[in-house]
Amino acid sequence: MNIYWFLFIAFLILAVQGWIYRRWSLSQLQYSRKFSTPTCYRGDEILILETISNRKLLPLPWLLLQSQFHTALQFQHQSNLDISKGQFYQNHKSIFSLMPYTQIVRKHRIICSKRGSYRLNTVSLTCGDAFGISKTYKTLPLDGQLLVFPKPIPMDEVPLPSRSWQGEVIVRRWILDDPFTVAGAREYRYGDTLNGINWKATARNGMLQVHNRERTADHRVVIMVNFDLNESVQTQISDPDTIEKALSYAITIADWVISQGMEIGFACNGYSEDAPKEPVFVEPRGGHEALNELNYVMAKLVIAQSLGFEQFMANIIRNQIVDTDIVLISAYISNEIQLHIEHLQATGNIVTIVELQPDALKSEVAN
């Protein structure tokens, strides 16, 4: 008879503690996760800070955390962390116990191996009693974002067609006429436009005179990146590493342009995650704020075309871009693209082509 009472009491204890854990194990359990910084450059090492707090009297014999991250966020070796990787995502599992009114803070070191926008979405919490009789779980939403900027490279590694390009741009900065500032009049020279004639000075001197305009310190450079790797229009990019290299070229050139006190703009026929299927055009601006804006824009770019580059350039021409240094980064130049380049040059623009070499770039990015 005693054995039956013993079994009954044991069963009752197990049932009660199971009910208690089902009811209260996840109550007063707080969890947070965040990046140590909201932005970084490709290749940087940052931290993910994780905090778990058990703010109640009931101990937790075991707590299982499950979450998912992009494979571009490479976690360094750490105990009590099981990682299973797929092609694009990796699943994480951690299990530990929490005593009453205790808090655990974990720091995960990660290397950001690719440019992009990464979010902390959800985490699954599962816990139960020590005997495994009952368990309960819930999914918590997270609010965290990391923007990984393209990594700048040394300026002399950008394959500009002429090593004197930088000097030429600096010179052109100081030889543009300022249409709003007139410094007297001068004698007409061949090539002067008729709308620049100063009729009062002409009548006074008896010789054809034109407005003598001061030089402007404002000069604009617009970097265009062609997301098409060949003339066939494809929505999917066959070699994303080539586009990533192009963006590294672009941000390197932009950094140099800003350092020279000039205005920088950016355009490409990809699209941003904030505006799907819309080509990107950032108006030229000066100062480090402009460079920060380009970093944010490039971090959110999706490696896919919004439209063919020939149509994209036709749209640029319709917007009447003039008197601008255009740096075109492209893996090819078709006959139609060449016609668009000539049209841009005819309207006072200077077009410099930076050629991409996909086969060579694959090994460069891997290293």
What's the pLDDT score for residue 360? 43
| Same fold for the pair 24-149 and 155-175+217-366 | no
Q: For residue 229, what are its two tokens?
A: 């790797």
Mean pLDDT (the chain) is 85
What's the pLDDT score for residue 81? 82
Classify 96 in phi/psi space as left (phi over 0), alpha (psi -120 to 50) or beta.
beta
Helical (H) or strand (E) element with 102: strand 102-112
What's the pLDDT score for residue 53? 95
Q: For residue 72, what are its two tokens?
A: 């571009």
What's the pLDDT score for residue 82? 85
pLDDT tens, position by position, 39-81:
999 999 999 999 999 999 999 999 999 999 999 999 988 777 8
Domain boundaries, the chain: 24-149, 155-175+217-366, 178-215
What's the pLDDT score for residue 192? 60
pLDDT by 10-residue block (mean), the chain, 367 residues: 71 77 89 96 96 94 93 87 86 91 94 95 90 86 95 92 68 50 59 68 76 58 93 73 95 93 93 93 92 96 92 89 91 94 91 80 45
> Taking the model in full, what pTM does it have?
0.79
CATH superfamily, domain at 24-149: ntegrin, alpha v. Chain A, domain 4 (2.60.40.1530)
Other CB atoms within 10 Å distance of the CB of residue 245: 22
User: For residue 33, which of 147, 141, 149 has the smallest C-alpha distance?
Assistant: 141
> Quick one: fold of 155-175+217-366?
Rossmann fold (3.40.50)
